[in-house]
Amino acid sequence: MRTVRLGVQLLDEMLGGGVLEGSSILISGWVGTGKTTLATQLMFYGVSGRSERAVYVCVGAMPKAYVWAMERLGFPVSEACDSGWISVVSFEKLHEMSVSSVLSEILRVVDKIKARILVIDSFTTLSKFFRDKWQRRMLTYVLSNFASKNLAYAILVEEVPVNTLEPTISDAGFVADYLIHLYVDVMSPAKRELRILKARGAPALPVPISYEIGRGGLIFKARGEDACKASYSHFQLQLKGRQELS
């Protein structure tokens, strides 16, 4: 199978060069750990680095709030949406929808723009609308199966109820090919760690790495701020070039 780079050098190195094409990636963590930021960071590399379209399913937050927050960090979401490279989707009456109708709408938008990246943020909120555990499992398995056949990767964002280094693995965690966990020390907010708790096919899991959140996304201290920012400093220019070619 082909390996797809995520675009964050240190993270790609930790995963042996990237993730397998068609993988499901679960990003978990407590509130404020940077889950949405990392998901957006990985999505934008696919758009600007590999010329792939993406669908961002916004559940539990207003799309305008998401766009505002990410643009403060330097991600030109509005520009990418206007040029057709990213589609931000939300459900106004999710509580009235069935699992099949939710899946159909998500996959319809993915097919419409020929997206190769799918982000669901948050998958925890989405799955809670379906009280039956078998419905929640069906949602997870169908999305994972779809990703394996049609996408570069799918990213599922999951909140954990307790801020811990070793969270309880959910159904989505068991199904996902990769599990990236973000942790922040509430007694010392500057102490943040990224841990890879699952990497399909990896002989051994890498050691945790420290990070901070800044303009351009997660900045891994092992590499230094400038090295990480460099990969994301030309989003506008790259997107403009992609738009001219589309």
What CATH topology corresponds to 3-245? Rossmann fold (3.40.50)
Please report the pLDDT score of residue 199 as a whole number: 92
Is residue 220's pLDDT more than 90? Answer: no
Please report the pLDDT score of residue 189 as a whole number: 63
Please report the pLDDT score of residue 222 as a whole number: 62
Type and span of the H or E element at 120? strand 117-121
Please report the pLDDT score of residue 227 as a whole number: 38
Find, among 204, 205, 124, 137, the residue nearest to 171 by Cα. 137
Please report the pLDDT score of residue 100 as a whole number: 84
Where in the chain are the domains? Answer: 3-245
Cα–Cα separations (whole angstroms), residue 153 to 31, 78, 174:
24, 22, 16
Q: How do residues 177-212 score in pLDDT, each as one tens digit?
A: 999 999 988 777 678 999 999 998 776 778 889 999
Question: Beta strand 209-214 with 188-199: parallel, antiparallel or unpaired?
Answer: antiparallel
Find, among 88, 90, 86, 135, the residue nearest to 115 by Cα. 86
% of residues, the chain, pLDDT over 70 = 89
Q: How do residues 45-96 score in pLDDT, each as one tens digit?
A: 999 888 999 999 999 788 999 999 999 999 999 999 999 999 999 987 777 7
- Band (240; pLDDT cuts 50, 70, 90): low
Q: Which residue has the higher pLDDT, 190 or 232?
A: 190
Please report the pLDDT score of residue 231 as a whole number: 43
Residues 144-156 have a mean pLDDT of 96
161-180 CB burial, b ≥16 within 10 A, e <16:
eeeeeebeebebbebbbbbb
Number of Cβ atoms within 10 Å of the Cβ of 61: 14
Is residue 142's pLDDT more than 80? Answer: yes
Is residue 119's pLDDT more than 90? Answer: yes
Please report the pLDDT score of residue 91 as a whole number: 85
Please report the pLDDT score of residue 245 as a whole number: 45
Per residue, the 3-state secondary structure of 22-36, as one string, reads CEEEEEEECCCCCHH
Tokens 């890879």 correspond to 196
CA distance 224 to 196: 20
Across the chain, mean pLDDT equals: 85
Looking at residue 206, the DSSP 8-state letter turns out to be P
